[in-house]
Structure 1
Amino acid sequence: MPELPTLAQVAAAAGVSPATASRVLTGSVRVTTSTRRQVHDAISRLGYVRHRAPRGGSGRRSDLTVAVVVCEPAQRLFTEPFYARVITTTEEVLAAHGIPLTVMTAASTASTVTTPQLVSGAVDGVLLVGARDRHPLVVTLAASGIPVRSVGRPPDGVELPYVDMDNYDGGKQAAEHLLLGGRRAIAAIAGPPGLPASRDRLEGFIGTLTQAGMAGVPVAYGDFTHSSGVHAAQWLLRRMPHLDAIFAASDVMAAAAVQTLRRAGRRVPDDVAVVGFDDAPVARRTSPTLTTVRQPVEELAALAARLLLGSMGAEPGAAKHAGGNPTLPTELVVRESA
């Protein structure tokens, strides 16, 4: 049986010192992006797997620990409904197996605090939420050997198993609905461009409008918060005073757009139709109620948690599916706003 590659061999293949290779694996900020990429390329070529200290105990499920890691600042956990829904569902799945859940946040600037805890053997599996481009924790986890399942497609070039929604088709459905409603002066409020789900929603939306002969659709970018939705809607109204439809990549931003339009004297949906994305509780509380694209958040989180448990050996029935990357369908829900 061939010997597994060592960290020293990885360092030699990457042309760096073992200390530098070690800093890459622990997410240190004292490593340049190019060096980090060299080390991870070497890890991939050699098939290096980080050795983890053995856990005490009998190996029963009650000895396992899973962390949900949200790649956002901590305050977003309390303002973004999506994260609360993911965490609640994940906790229910794990509780049925007697496995405790740890919740951690890891904004890019704070990843040096989070990363060592995750790669040192403190947890047995990680459910990663909101993985973005160039996030140092994401590439470190991909090379760590720890069982990881991403909730949502990870950034391009990062090999992590995931469960996703069909965000592209969701954006497409929103565009088709607005076109069928006779809307022609259409704009979009997109999410963060570094988030794959945001890009997919926007590409599905813009691509459908382009095929219908609508080029140069104005796009404002937000971060899924109410305030960013307000600023984006204000910018669109200045850029396109006669717009008659807005697609927002989250219901929170869509609700903010409705509020902004009302303050500007524009009626929804008579003057401007608004379509959101999520089917979060706010969609039913907004006046008028929001037409939106429903994403099955609870189903997504439950499936991701079960597949993670399968890769950890804690749910044998899920293990045979643990290598796939399921994509769940989205669905347009028509209410009053469009």
Structure 2
Amino acid sequence: MPRASNGTAPTLDEVARLAGVSRATASRAINGGNRVSADALAAVQAAVSTLGYTPNPAARSLVTRRTGSVALVVPEPDERVFSDPFFVHTLRGVNRVLVARDLQLVLLIARPGEEERRMLRYLSGRHVDGAIVVSHHRNDRLVEQLADLSLPSVFVGRPLTSADKVAYVDTDNVAGGRAATELLVERGCTRIANLAGPSDMAAGHDRLAGWRGALRAAGLPDDLVEHGDFTEAGGEDAARRLLARDAGFDGLVVASDLMAAGALRVLADAGRRVPEDVAVVGYDDLGIPERTTPALTTVRNPIAEMAEHAARLLLEQVDGQRAGSAIRVIFPPSLIRRASA
């Protein structure tokens, strides 16, 4: 580290003297530039560069009331967080934005119960400047809890309750479910089943609604539904239940690619050829479809772009540009055609 004239690490007072400004002005210039003229800001920045001055994080937080960190809140079991590509892409997208602002990402994994209470105590202690919430469920009540804390927050995915009170970024899951189903209708499928996601999550609810809407518009029945949990094992279980109910379906719409991967194995074990006997469409396109047999037709969920946008919205709140704003941004889905349909 560069040293000041006395051989020690440079201080704020020395930065102020070299810049020809007061200590208070130097501090404001270093901590955001509020109420500092352009000339003074340039002089302080030049002095910082010349001396190699590094602000003390503790002192800086007292001035800015910032921690320099943002929480990514995931109310899911940790084994799912570290095995589902949805969360990998979310982490990358959020962190890409934070790194550019020299901010730290704090991952908070909390299932209902004591873990959730501990997480809320951490957030209420203002150890982070804001929170991005992903993969939330109806009973989490995170919208209301974060509102009570007055903590800047953005949700990735529409909350099923109190969505008008919070900023969120989502994709049009109804349109995605409809597009997947319409593809199978155009293919000539007449008995199209659905392996739906959890009914307590907006993505599961909306993708199922898109499937129903497309079938009713085509005059086809919409009674073949089994629910899973967006995991591969959940897709296997739901596919087995579906085959036990009615093995005569010729099309299958699945709420996630992980569930679809599990369903493809069950169909193969049952002697059902894909796409000859059953055409299959998944949802997400986060690296799974290229590894299935056959390659999976799917609806692209632009999660990396959504996560980045959510991070930018949160930083705007933290910076006071969108305080209390319940803005929502909806990304369009897109159909990716491969061999399974």
- What TM-score do the two structures reach when normalised by structure 1? 0.79
Contact in 1 for aligned 2:143/2:162 (Cα 8 Å): no
Q: Which residue, out of 80, 86, 110, partners 1:82? A: 86
2:3 aligned partner: none
Counterpart CA distance in 2 for 1:309 and 1:94 is 9
Q: CA deviation at 1:225?
A: 0.9
Q: Which residue, out of 132, 145, 152, partners 1:127? A: 132
Q: CA deviation at 1:240?
A: 1.1
Counterpart CA distance in 1 for 2:233 and 2:112 is 21
What amino acid sits opposite 1:139 in the alignment? E
Counterpart CA distance in 2 for 1:337 and 1:115 is 44
Q: Which residue, out of 133, 143, 147, partners 1:142? A: 147
Contact in 2 for aligned 1:170/1:330 (Cα 8 Å): yes
Matched, 1:303 2:309: yes
2:109 aligned partner: 105
1:172 aligned partner: 178
What amino acid sits opposite 2:89 in the alignment? R
Q: CA deviation at 1:320?
A: 9.4
2:37 aligned partner: none
Counterpart CA distance in 1 for 2:210 and 2:88 is 26
* Matched residue SS, 2:195: strand
Q: CA RMSD for the aligned pairs?
A: 1.9
* Matched residue SS, 1:262: helix
Counterpart CA distance in 2 for 1:237 and 1:323 is 43
Matched, 1:273 2:274: no
Counterpart CA distance in 2 for 1:309 and 1:157 is 22
Q: CA deviation at 1:250?
A: 0.2
Deviations, residues 113-139 of structure 1 (Å, cap 9, x unaligned): 211101121111000001211214442
Which structure has the greater CA radius of gyration? 2
Matched, 1:117 2:122: yes
1:332 aligned partner: 335
Counterpart CA distance in 1 for 2:65 and 2:103 is 10
Gaps of 5+ in 2: 1-58
Counterpart CA distance in 2 for 1:286 and 1:136 is 36
Q: CA deviation at 1:321?
A: 11
Counterpart CA distance in 1 for 2:141 and 2:317 is 23
Contact in 2 for aligned 1:115/1:137 (Cα 8 Å): no
Counterpart CA distance in 2 for 1:197 and 1:55 is 41
What amino acid sits opposite 2:215 in the alignment? L
Deviations, residues 215-268 of structure 1 (Å, cap 9, x unaligned): 342111110111110011111111111111111100000111111100111100
What amino acid sits opposite 2:335 in the alignment? L
Aligned counterparts, 1:186-265, within 5 A: 186-265=192-271
Task: Name which of structure 1's ranges 189-198 and 214-223 shifts more when overlaid on structure 2.
Answer: 214-223
Counterpart CA distance in 1 for 2:178 and 2:324 is 29
Counterpart CA distance in 1 for 2:160 and 2:326 is 18
Task: Name which of structure 1's ranges 72-81 and 293-302 shifts more when overlaid on structure 2.
Answer: 72-81
Counterpart CA distance in 2 for 1:281 and 1:200 is 23
2:188 aligned partner: 182
Q: CA deviation at 1:55?
A: 8.7
Q: Identity rate of aligned residues, in percent?
A: 40
What amino acid sits opposite 1:117 in the alignment? Y
Gaps of 5+ in 1: 1-53
Matched, 1:156 2:144: no
